[in-house]
Structure 1
Amino acid sequence: MKTKAFGAYGWLLFTMVLWGSAFPSSKYAVEHVPHEVAALFRFGGGAIVLLLITFFRRPQQTPPLKAVLGACVAGIVGVFGYNALFFWGVTMAPASDGGVIFPALTPVITSLALILGGRESARPVRIIGLAVGVGGAALFFVATTAHGGGGSDRLMGDTIFLVGAAVWSVYTLLNRKLVVGMDPVQAVMYSTVAGSLALAVMAVPKFGSVQWGDLSGGFWVNAVHLAIGPTAIAYLLYVRGIRDLGASTASVMMFAVPLFSTLFSFIFLGESFTWAQGGAALIMLGGAFLAVVSARGAAKPAARKESDGEPAVARGQGSTVAPQVRDAVVTEAEGS
C-alpha cells in the first residue's frame, strides 16, 4: 500500500511538471504563430487525443443530453474563454508570470466566490489566507510595474492573466452545476471539443498570416507536446492521482506548478524574476495554500438528508464518480 501511495505521488508530481512546461511551451508557440492559432493547436490536438481515448475506453453509460450540453457550455467558458485570454496574455508577459498568477489566484478567487455566495464557511484562518493571497498579488503587480521590465506590455499581460484566472474560477463554479451524470473523461472530452471548436472560429481567420513553410520542426514538436503532454497525458495522470490519494491532496499538489513553470521558463526562454517579484510570488502562493488547506471541511452541508444506506452525493447522478472527485478532475485538469 505504501509503495502504491509513493508511486501515486510520483505520478502527480510528474503531472505538475507537465503543467509547468505548458507555460513556456505556450510562450514559444505564440512567438511563431498568432496566439489564436497557438491555442487551437494545443486544445484542438488535445481534443483529438481525448476523442481517441474515449473511443477506446468505450464507456458503458451514455450520458444524458443535459449533461452533454452542460459540459459543452463549461467548455466554452473554461477552454475557449480562459485560453483565449491566456494565449493573448503570454504574447505580452513572460510565461513565468502566468505560471505564478494562475495557480495562485484561481483558488483565491474561487474561494472568495464560494464564501460570498454562502456555499462555504468563512473561517478566520481561511480569510487570512485569502487576504494574504490578494495582498501578494497586489505586490506582484506593483513589483512588475516598478522593476519587472517589459514596461506596460508586461503589466497588460499580467492583467490579462488575472482576468483569465477569474474566468477559470467562473468555469469551476459553473462546472459544479452543469457537468453531472457523466464519466469524468467524457466530461472533459466534450468540454475540450466544444471549446476547441470555438477556438477554431477565432483562429481560422488568422491562418492566412501564418508562414506555414517557415515553421520549424521544433515548433511542431512543441505543438505536439502541448496537445499530448500538458493537455491529455497530464489529465489522465491527475485522474489516477485523485483515485489513489484523493482530490484534496491532488489539488494541493497544484502549488508545485509555479516552481516548474519558472524553472522551465528560465532554462528554455531565459526569463527571470526580480527579487521583489519573487518575494511577492511567495506571499501570493503562501496565502493561496493557506486558503486551500483551511478549506477542507468548510463546505456547508447540503439541505437534503441522505437516505439510509445511500449517500446523497451518488444519488441520481448516473455516475459512479463522487461529485467532489468529478469537480476536481474536470475543473483542474484543463487549467494549465
Structure 2
Amino acid sequence: MKTKPLGAYAWLLFAMVLWGSAFPSSKYATEHVPHEVAALFRFGGGAVVLLLITLVRRPQQSPPFKAVLGACVAGIVGVFGYNALFFWGVTMAPSSDGGVIFPALTPVITSLVLILSGHESARPARIAGLGIGVGGAALFFVATTTAGGAGGSDRLMGDTIFLVGAAVWSVYTLLNRRLVVGMDPVQAVTYSTVAGSLALAVMAVPHFGSVQWGELSGGFWLNAVHMAIGPTAVAYLLYVRGIRDVGASTASVMMFAVPLFSTLFSFAFLGEYFTWAQGGAAVVMLGGALLAVVSGHRAMKPSVQREDPQPPDRERGAAEPVASGAPGGTAAPQARDAVVPEAGTR
C-alpha cells in the first residue's frame, strides 16, 4: 500500500478551512442584503465559476440525459432547498450554530434513515454514536432555550431551521446516491449548482428592489466573490482531489474539522460565542456523530474499501457529492464508502 502524500492532506485540510469560512461569510452577507439575494450571490457566482472550469476541462464525453436530469433534481433539493433554509436560519441564529448543527446532524439523520430502511448495518458502536449525537443535539437546543441574552427565541428558531436544513440535506444525500450515476463529478456539481441557482434566482428576484445597491461596500463585494469561489467551487474541487489521493473514508472523516474552523472564524470576525452549556453540548453532538461515522467505516471496510486511491470512473461519478452542501455549506459531502454517502459544505 502506497504512503499517502502529505500534500494531499494539506489541500484537503484547506478545503475544510474554506467550507468553515462559508458560515460567517454567509452571515455577513445576510446583514447587508435579503437572505434570498445572499444565497443567489453565493451559488449564482459559484455556478459561473464551475461552468468556466467545465468549459476549460472539456470532458471527453457528454453525460447521458438521465444523469443530467438526476443532477438537476439533486441540485433543486441540495442547492435550492438546503440553502434557502440555511440562509434564512443564519438571519436569526449565529453562523457558529449552523457550523456545528449541519456537520453533526446530517450524518446522524442520514445514518438513521439508512439503518431503519435496512440499507446499512446497526452495529452497537454505531447505534451508541447516533444516540450520543441525538442526545447532544437535544442538549444543544435545551441550552439555547435557556441561554437568555445569548439569542433567546430567535436563536432557537434559527437553530430549528438549521435542523430542518440538515434533514433536507440528508434527503439530497440519499437522492444523489441514486440519481447522479455514471457522471463526471465536476460535471455533476456544475449541473446541480446551475439548476439550484436558477431556482434561487426565482426566489431572489422579487427582493432585488429592497437592496440599496449603491450603498454596498467593497467589503461586501469581496465577501461575495469569496463565497462564490472559495467554499463553493475551489473547496469542492480540492475535496474531489482529496478523495482521489487519500480515499473517501479519510476525506469524509476530515469533514468534522469544519465546525472547528467555522466556530473560530465566527468568533473572530463576527464576535459570536457559545455559552458553556452550548459548547459542551456541541462537543457531545459532534463526538457522537464522529463515532457513528468511524464505526460505520470499519463495518463497511472489508467489502467496499479499496487499496487503489483512484476508483473507476463510474464509481467516482456515483460517489461524488454536489458541492453545495457544503455548506454553507458545508454540511459536508462524503463518498459512497462512507457512512453518509455524498453528504455534507458544505
State TM-score, norm by structure 1.
0.92
Question: Any stretches of 5+ residues in structure 1 without a counterpart?
Answer: 303-312
Q: Distance in 1 between matches of 2:301 and 2:335?
A: 21
Residue in 1 that maps onto 2:152 = 151
Does structure 1 residue 55 correspond to structure 2 residue 61?
A: no
Deviation at 1:298, TM superposition (A): 4.0
- Structure number with greater Rg is 1
Is the Cα–Cα contact under 8 Å of residues 119 and 299 in structure 1 kept in the other structure?
A: no
Is residue 90–residue 158 contact of structure 2 (8 Å, CA) maintained in 1? Answer: yes
* Inter-partner Cα distance in structure 2 for 1:320 and 1:66: 17
Shift of 1:321: 2.5
Report the counterpart of residue 214 of structure 1 in structure 2: 215
Q: Aligned partners of 1:114, 1:301: CA distance in 2, in Å? A: 19
Q: Aligned pair count?
A: 322
- In structure 1, what is the equivalent of residue 93 of structure 2? 93
**SS of residue paired to 1:319:** helix
State whether residues 86 and 160 of structure 1, in contact with CA within 8 Å, keep that contact through their aligned partners in structure 2.
yes
The answer as to 2:234 corresponding to 1:245 is no
SS of the equivalent of 1:280 reads: helix
Taking the TM superposition and a 5 Å limit, the aligned residue runs for 1:91-130 are 91-130=91-130
CA separation of 1:44 and 1:126: change in aligned 2, threshold 3 A:
same
Question: Unaligned stretches of 5+ in structure 2?
Answer: 304-310, 322-332
**3-state secondary structure, aligned to 2:60:** coil
Do the aligned partners of 2:72 and 2:191 also contact (CA within 8 Å) in 1? Answer: yes
In the other structure, the counterpart of 1:279 is: 280
Residue type at the aligned position of 2:260: L
RMSD of the TM alignment (CA)? 2.0
Judged with a 3 Å threshold, the aligned counterparts in structure 2 of structure 1 residues 301 and 118 are, in CA distance, closer, same or farther, namely farther
| 1:323 corresponds to 2:318 | yes
**1:159 shift after superposition:** 0.2
1:231–1:334 CA distance, 2 compared to 1 (3 A): farther
> What is the identity percentage for the equivalent residue pairs of Structure 1 and Structure 2?
81
- For 1:70 and 1:28, how far apart are their aligned partners in 2? 33
The Cα of 1:322 is off from its aligned counterpart by 6.2
CA deviations on 1:248-271 (whole Å, 9 max, x unpaired) are 100000100111101000110000
Q: Is the 8 A contact 1:20 1:259 kept in 2?
A: yes
TM-aligned CA distance change 1:329 to 1:199, over 3 Å: farther
Q: Which aligned pairs between 1:1-336 and structure 2 lie closer than 5 A?
A: 2=3, 5-147=5-147, 149-296=150-297, 298=299, 319=314, 321=316, 323-324=318-319, 328=334, 335-336=345-346
Q: Which runs of 4+ in 1 moved over 6 A?
A: none
What is aligned with 2:308? none
Distance in 1 (alpha carbons) for counterparts of 2:233 and 2:153: 35
Kept in 1, the 8 Å contact 2:103–2:344? The answer is no
For residues 333 and 240 of structure 1, the distance between their equivalents in structure 2, rounded to whole angstroms, comes to 16
Q: Which amino acid aligns with 1:141?
A: F
How far the C-alpha of 1:332 sits from its partner, in A, is 5.1
User: What is the CA–CA distance in structure 2 between the aligned matches of 1:74 and 1:283, rounded to whole Å?
Assistant: 31
**Contact 1:133-1:284 within 8 A present in 2 as well:** yes
2-structure distance, mates of 1:59, 1:297? 35
Cα distance between partner residues in 1 of 2:317 and 2:81: 27
Deviations 1:23-54 (A, max 9, x none): 00000000000000000000000000000000
Letter in structure 1 aligned against 2:316: V
1:59-106 Cα offsets, whole Å, 9 max, x none, are 011100000000000000000000000000000000000000000000
- The amino acid that maps onto 2:296 is A
What is the TM-score of this pair, normalised by structure 2?
0.89
Moved more, 224-233 or 146-155: 146-155
Q: Which amino acid aligns with 1:221?
A: L
Provide Cα deviations, 1:293-320, integer angstroms capped at 9, x if missing partner: 0111545999xxxxxxxxxx96xxx836
What SS class does the counterpart of residue 328 from structure 1 fall into? coil
Instruction: Note if contact 1:136-1:284 (Cα within 8 Å) is conserved in structure 2.
Output: yes
Partners of 1:9 and 1:95 in 2: how far apart?
Answer: 26
